[in-house]
Chain A
């Protein structure tokens, strides 16, 4: 078990009340799932669907769903949305092994009516107030996706994994139904964000720098809001076995930077030192998730004849 560590991001006093409020708001709306067969993305081994669900707002979100053909139940994988307007449908390799749901949160393509997210701009949209911050709804969108995935009769409830950035951590914390969590540490948005912003000028974190350069008086309010989303404060509720890829010393996914997060998880944490060889890293992480969920690994690095 990982040891607990002091964290530089302060947990808001009303953290639990805030997130309980999100759960209550979500519970007020039925998912009203509309599941439509997608012939184009269906294959001889998996059937694909376009899914629409209601989240808080109310707001209609979208998902790519793929279900293996044959007798289930099957292990399942929830892929939380990336930072950007587009998420690709589940990969061919994953569709052969898992029920897979990729969520498009509010503002992303296929879930961009009536709200179309701006890039850059989404990260700071309403950031002055945690009650109206766009990520409150975005986390709810992911929670709704988790509930929907878990409700499918084809899903083996003991073998559900989740992968993504901060959204995956928050989802695994609020819906403790996952056996395995892969945190995409290289693209975390909220972990120690107010410190991270001083160390990078790369977007999307640069959005916060842009905002505070123009409006320095908002610094305290922004810090208050983003603390609700820092995965370090969600991690204690995570029961899933967790994988943290760890980058170079000094990097924003480096070992010392991630230490507070690694130490905060409630469940077992494994660290994987990334090689920066994309094929090597993919195959190691794929095999890790496959072991957790009881399926075969699907390495993508091929050997040469």
Chain B
């Protein structure tokens, strides 16, 4: 079983055989597999959803769909936790587990509170297996817009998009190309830069025992499973990066750590959930960053059936670029 199918390993036999019966084109494009106890088994691909029938066919009718039960849920949980739920207490608090290969599995169940905070997740009955894909070249058309020709580096960039639009896949490819020095621009001839990735949820690099399982470039260091704010400071102090890459910033301490990076002369590429630059001021952590004009480029992703397009704004949030296509739905 090759790397791109490692996520299949966590499924109980029966579910695995159902998934294996999917049409190859759909199977290759799978983004999410959703298992909800007592409700239809769902798969998502290319922005569409389908239920699976007990024979392995596709349907949109919930009544015809295969319905996973409690034993399958328990078995799945046992397999994704490596038979050791007790090692996943922090993950359960956050609501997801990342498995080998960088695939993230979101969990839903009943929370156990302690002092008003989520202490534990029990009776887990909903699973969302998000399949991580490495799409080499997905950043090809965006990268030339992020170049800093004066400093021979990269501009501070914030990538905004709603969930499931390919942010993580995009910054993974950016990390690879920046680190390798393939700038996709005829006049950009400087060599690759030292890249530091703060991979809080092990999604960007898909690290297994500290070693990235995705190609994230020859000059890239990964701090795996590390809280972003702390990771940024650790990387700046210890690894002297030229470019820092972080996924999904959103807390006030993230903003402070990024400001620190700015003063240290490190370039930053970050992503955040959001539908456009307009709603940045209403987000506490992001508004601070936008007020200080920290970021020099904002890119907003928008995925359609044809591929992913992006729109660009400059540091003062003025529109600079109309939709450019970077839609390449082939899988590396």
Do A and B pair up? The answer is: no
B interface residues with partner A (beta carbon < 8 Å): none
